[in-house]
Structure 1
């Protein structure tokens, strides 16, 4: 029979590992016609090379990756858009362009 404390420890480890790194992204209007977004993970890990898409009307208008600083800069689209950070299964972040301010 499995020891109850061992079971609790194993369950705790699985829970901690599933929440160990949540993808994060913040975007800012630079005030000069450009948007800057920075991404990372809640455990402090770099998001360098993680895929980012700019979508308008459910179509991808730009696809790139975060640079060595975990950032991207792009020209602000004239109409509604969404920035999507795709760090893999369960790690997708959406930022509505309307929520991006100077």
Structure 2
């Protein structure tokens, strides 16, 4: 009887661990300079989930938010390119944020 209970506990533990791994997903976000004074960011998650509604923040060198918005129904966000150095933050929630430095955003 103890052997059967031990096997059930192990099986239940494996099921819980498998479910947790299946729910894990990483944020993905890339931004591109359109060459016309605008920047386009595209986002999503590694499990194929949409980024619709995910918040984005554009910050200046001091960390002040100069623009905020959200990914549209196509998981895109386009904005006017700020003057000088800036950082784009894709805020997919706790543990799911990405920061993109303006020096990494190219045409």
Give the TM-score normalised by the residue count of structure 2.
0.84
* Structure 1: segments with no counterpart, 5+ residues: none
From 87, 90, 93, the equivalent of 2:92 is: 87
* Structure 2: segments with no counterpart, 5+ residues: none
What is the number of residues matched between the two proteins? 100
Is 2:68 aligned against 1:63? Answer: yes
- What is the alpha-carbon root mean square deviation over aligned residues? 1.4
Runs (4+) of structure 1 exceeding 4 A deviation are: none
Counterpart position of 2:14: 8
Is 2:73 aligned against 1:73? Answer: no
Counterpart position of 1:53: 57
From 15, 22, 28, the equivalent of 2:26 is: 22
Report the Cα offset of residue 15 of structure 1: 3.0
Give the TM-score normalised by the residue count of structure 1.
0.88
Greater percentage in helix:
2
1:41-97 deviations in Å (ceiling 9; x for gaps): 111111111100000121000111111111111111111100001111111111111
